[in-house]
Amino acid sequence: MTRLTLRALHSRCQKLLQRTDTTLEEVTLSQERAKVTWDKSPTANLQIKVDTDQDGRIQLVLHELVHVAADDALIIVDRVDDELEEAFVESWAKLLWEYVDENSRRRKWWRDQITQKL
């Protein structure tokens, strides 16, 4: 298995978003700010829903994609409870957002790709 780095995580999330079977839509969610569902083994049919009333669309999409990327990269994801999974996804998504936000080209890439998916 290849070592997972921040750059590799970023690249994996980019590829996940660009997949033809990945959909993104803005909806009104009652419980969450965003939500992702997908088929596992192999990863397919990603459906990301982002609450229309939330700011930070890029951060929300990154967060949901980290769920999928982490599930692909780590065997432990299926063996931890939701609270622990959410804690490490939040920390990885925060690092990933900082990586994206520090570079205007990366930020633009994400903004453009998300706009195309909507």
Whether the Cβ atoms of residue 75 and residue 49 lie closer than 8 Å to each other: no
| SS3 assignment, position 46 | strand
| Model pLDDT, residue 74 | 66
Q: Is the pLDDT of residue 2 over 70?
A: no
Separation of alpha carbons 28 and 89, rounded Å: 23
Hey, what CATH class is 6-117 in? alpha beta
Binned at pLDDT 50, 70 and 90, residue 107 comes out as very high
Separation of alpha carbons 97 and 75, rounded Å: 24
35-72: pLDDT as tens digits: 998 888 778 899 999 987 777 889 999 999 998 888 77
